[in-house]
Amino acid sequence: MTAVGKIIWPKELDAIAADAVDGAISELSGFHLLANDEMDAGYHADYLIKHRHEYVRTVRDVLKFRPVTDSPVKVLEIGAFFGVVCIALATLGYEVTAADVPEYIELSEQVERYARYAIATKGVRLEDFVMPFNDEQFDVIIMCEVMEHLNFNPLPLLKEINRIGAAGSIFYLSMPNAASLFNRIWCMRGNTNGVKIREFFAQLDASDALIANGHWREYNGAETREILERLGYRIKHQYFFSLGETLPLKSWKSWLFRRILKHWPTLKENQTTIAIREKRTELVFDIPATVHRTLRRL
C-alpha cells in the first residue's frame, strides 16, 4: 500500500506500479484465465507478460492522477477481464469494483479470487446502457480496450459512465488509435479495419466459444476528445503509445519505425485519455428502437 500524503516521484511511481502489477500477474499464474477449455484456445501462457507494459501504465496513471488518500478512493474497472489492474490497485489501497460480462465475471472461481482482495464484482451488459451503480459512486472509472469492441452507439453508455462518476472523478479511457500508422498502411494495401469476416462466422459457430467479436469501431484522438468534452468532461491528459517502444531494436526497420513515431506520436497504435468529470451532462438522448429495443430516453 502506498503512503498517504507522501510525494512520489515519477520513477517511484513506475516502480510501485510495476511491483503491484507483477504481484497480480503472479497471483494469476496457473489460474484458469478463461471460462472454459475452448475459450482458452489461442491464448498463450505468456499473454499477461506481453501486456504487462499496458497494465503498468494504467496503474501508474491512476497513482499519478488520483493517489490514495485518507478517504477511500473508489475505482470501477469496466472490462476487468483477467483482473490484473484491479488486483494491483487493490493491493495499493484502492477500493475496487470489477465489472465484466456475466459469463466471465460471475464464475465462482472469479468471484472467490477477487474477494480475497476485497474486490467487489458485478456482471454488466454494456449494450443495455443502464449501469447497475448509484449516481456519483466512483472516483475513478477505468475502461481499457473495451470501446472498440462495442457494436452499438456508445453515447448512451458513456452518459451512464458520466452519471456514476463523482464530481471531479477521473474517466480513464484507453483503446487503439484509429489513425495509427499501422492502420493507414493496412488500408493502403486494400484491407479494411474492424471485425474480420472469419470472426462473424466464428461467433455463430456452435463449435467455437467466441462470444465477442474484434474491433467494430476504432477512434482517433480528436474523436475521443470531442465525445468526452460534449458529455461533460475536461481532458486532463491525452497521450499515444506503442508496443514497439517497449521492445528491443532488432533491425533498421524497427529503428526507423521508432524514429517516425517519436516525431509523430499520433501515429502510434494506442491512445489513452484521462478526463475529469466537470459536470453531470445535461444531454438527453432520444433512443430509437434500432438502437435499443425498450429504452426510449436516457
Whole-number Å distance between alpha carbons of 239 and 157: 23
Question: Would the pLDDT of 31 be above 90?
Answer: no
CB atoms within 10 A of CB 118: 9
All domains of the chain in start order, with CATH: 10-277 (3.40.50.150)
Residue 106: phi and psi, rounded to 5, are -95, 5
Q: 272 - beta bridge partners?
A: 174, 239
CB atoms within 10 A of CB 117: 17
**Nine-digit cell at 13?**
511511481
Q: What is the pLDDT of residues 194-243, one digit of tens each?
A: 888 888 888 788 877 666 678 899 999 999 999 999 999 999 999 999 87
- Give residue 268's Cα distance to chain centre: 17
DSSP-assigned letter for residue 187: H
At 41, the pLDDT band (50, 70, 90 cuts) reads very low
Whole-number Å distance between alpha carbons of 55 and 45: 17
Q: What's the pLDDT score for residue 56?
A: 95
Task: Check: CB of residue 176 under 8 Å from CB of residue 215.
Answer: yes
Q: What is the pLDDT of residues 76-114, one digit of tens each?
A: 999 998 899 999 999 999 999 999 999 889 988 888 889
Question: Would the pLDDT of 167 be above 60?
Answer: yes
Task: Check: CB of residue 172 under 8 Å from CB of residue 58.
Answer: yes
**Sign of the C-alpha dihedral, residues 276, 10, 117, 147?**
positive
Question: Would the pLDDT of 60 be above 70?
Answer: yes
Find where cell 471460462 sits: 35
Q: What's the pLDDT score for residue 3?
A: 53
Q: Picking from 6-10, 36-40, 161-165, 277-281, which range would have the lowest pLDDT averaged per residue?
A: 36-40
Angle, nearest 10°, between helix axes 52-65 and 84-91? 40
Question: Would the pLDDT of 32 be above 70?
Answer: no
Strand order in the sheet with 74-78: 120-123, 95-100, 74-78, 138-144, 165-176, 270-277, 233-241
Question: Would the pLDDT of 37 be above 90?
Answer: no
Whole-number Å distance between alpha carbons of 59 and 50: 16
Q: What's the pLDDT score for residue 278?
A: 97
Maximum mean pLDDT: which of 4-18, 22-36, 60-74, 186-200: 60-74
Chain-wide mean pLDDT for the chain? 89
Buried b (16+ CB within 10 A) or exposed e, 204-219: eeeeebbeeeebbbbb
CA dihedral of residues 243, 54, 174, 13 (deg, nearest 10):
-120
- Mean predicted confidence (pLDDT) in 239-255: 81
Query: What single letter denotes the amino acid at residue 70?
Result: D
Query: What single letter denotes the amino acid at residue 188?
Result: M
At 169, the pLDDT band (50, 70, 90 cuts) reads very high
